[in-house]
Structure 1
Amino acid sequence: MSLLYRVLSRLPKPVRDVLVKHKELLKFAVVGGVCFVVTVTVNYTLKFTVLNDNPVTAQAIAVIIATIVSYVLNREWSFRTRGGRERQHEAALFFLISGMGVALNSAPLFVSRYMFNLEVPHVTLLVQEVADFASGIILGTAIAMVFRWWAFRKWVFPQTDARPRIVRVGRRGQRLAVLTEDDEAA
């Protein structure tokens, strides 16, 4: 039995039912967390090295790298049971929508830096970095995440149950989770 199902079997039934009901959203959020760490790491690495004078470019590159990671994780884990499109069409839509997400993610940072002039020499370095983090990392990521969740489910992975599913039953006959055949193999 996989770790996920060992954990689920130990949770109270009401909690387990909520987690199973919203499993896809929870997986999407975990992927988002992983990609958030990728985005922050790449963004600050670029921003404090080779793209010191181009914070929006550093942010955009970081988001693009995280988007590639996101496609693989979402396709193979978050939306594992969804589909309905040929792989190439699905990938093209994913990256198109993610490109729109890059623009949405970068927009608050652009506004903060170039419309509100929250950059050195107009403000201190600390104020600039706090504003960059709040607008580019926090606000931009939140806006893009909500958009992507909606758009991925609507256009990229439109059909529920497009891949085979099986039901995992616990020791006492209670239904623990609905899985794909891929989950069963893990």
Structure 2
Amino acid sequence: MVESALARIPEPYRSTAIKHRELLKFGMVGGATWVIDTMVFLVLKSTVLEAKPLTAKVIAVLVATIVSYILNREWSFRTRGGRERHHEALLFFIISGLGVAAYTAPLAASRYLFHLQIPEVSLVTQEVADFVSGQILGTLVGMAFRWWAFRRFVFPDENVRRQQISVD
């Protein structure tokens, strides 16, 4: 899928895209897990966790994180490694746990610092503020943090798994 997408990009952008292929894959995984996160968040927030938007957000991020680990390990960072799998998974989930704070901080600020919630604002304003702060700003902050931390701590060594794959 990435190869066919890269082939459609005109030069000089194609060479830049190829150079940053790992980032593009990470972004595609992020897009897929953003959809999962958004769907879980909106379903929980509009049903069983209506009065607890932060709890709904934390659950949504955790579900998306599990999917993210699988997709990032097997696709985005498939040639990177350098750690035993259990250490890699532990670091991934610790960093993702720290990422939960980054993802939820804008929503917490919107609700509890700026009071963008009923009765201070209308239902429409509350819902727009929740979406922008929780799903857009939180996602951008969380993804930037996770990109840096995954490459630095979870999958630190380049081409390690590529060598293992070619040997097997």
Scaled by the length of structure 1, the TM-score of the pair is 0.83
Higher mean displacement: 62-71 or 114-123:
114-123
- 1:105-149 Cα deviation digits (max 9, x unpaired): 111111111121111111100000011011111111110100000
Root mean square deviation, CA, Å = 1.7
In 1: Cα distance, 2:7 partner to 2:126 partner: 47
Distance 1:121 1:88 in 2: 47
Q: In structure 2, what is the equivalent of residue 170 of structure 1?
A: none
Q: Distance in 1 between matches of 2:133 and 2:8?
A: 40
Aligned position for 2:116: 118
Corresponding residue of 1:177:
none
Kindly indicate whether residue 129 of structure 2 is the aligned counterpart of residue 135 of structure 1. Answer: no
User: 2:38 is matched with which residue: 37, 40, 47?
Assistant: 40
Counterpart of 1:18 (choices 10, 16, 19) is 16
1:87 partner amino acid: R
Change in 2 beyond 3 A, CA 1:120/1:8 = closer
| Amino acid across the alignment from 2:52 | N
Question: Is 1:49 aligned to residue 47 of structure 2?
Answer: yes
In the TM superposition, 1:73-84 aligns within 5 A as: 73-84=71-82
Going from structure 1 to structure 2, the CA distance change for 1:52 and 1:7 (only over 3 Å counts) comes to: closer
How far residue 160 of structure 1 moved from its aligned partner, in angstroms, is: 0.5
| TM-score where L is the length of structure 2 | 0.92
Corresponding position of 1:172: none
More helix as a share of residues: 2
Report the alpha carbon displacement of residue 15 of structure 1 after superposing the two structures with TM.
Answer: 3.5
What is the identity, as a one-letter code, of the residue corresponding to 2:119? P
CA distance in structure 2 between the aligned counterparts of 1:28 and 1:136, rounded to whole angstroms? 20
Q: 2:107·2:133 contact (CA, 8 Å) conserved in 1?
A: yes
- Provide, for residues 62-104 of structure 1, a one-character-per-residue CA deviation record: whole Å limited to 9, x for no partner: 0000000100000000001100000000000000000000111
Question: 2:146, 2:5 → 1: CA distance?
Answer: 29
Q: Which runs of 5+ in 2 are unaligned?
A: none
Question: Given residue 68 of structure 1, which amino acid in structure 2 is its aligned partner?
Answer: I
Q: Measured at CA, do residues 138 and 4 of structure 1 come closer, stay the same or move farther in structure 2, by a change above 3 Å? A: closer
Aligned counterpart in structure 1 of residue 28 of structure 2, from 17, 24, 30: 30
Q: Which whole-Å CA distance do the structure 1 matches of 2:5 and 2:141 have between them?
A: 31
8 A contact 2:80–2:162 mirrored in 1: no
For 1:89 and 1:145, how far apart are their aligned partners in 2?
21
**Following TM superposition, by how much is the alpha carbon of 1:14 offset from its aligned partner in structure 2, in angstroms?**
3.4
Percent of residue pairs bearing the same amino acid type: 58
Higher Cα radius of gyration? 1
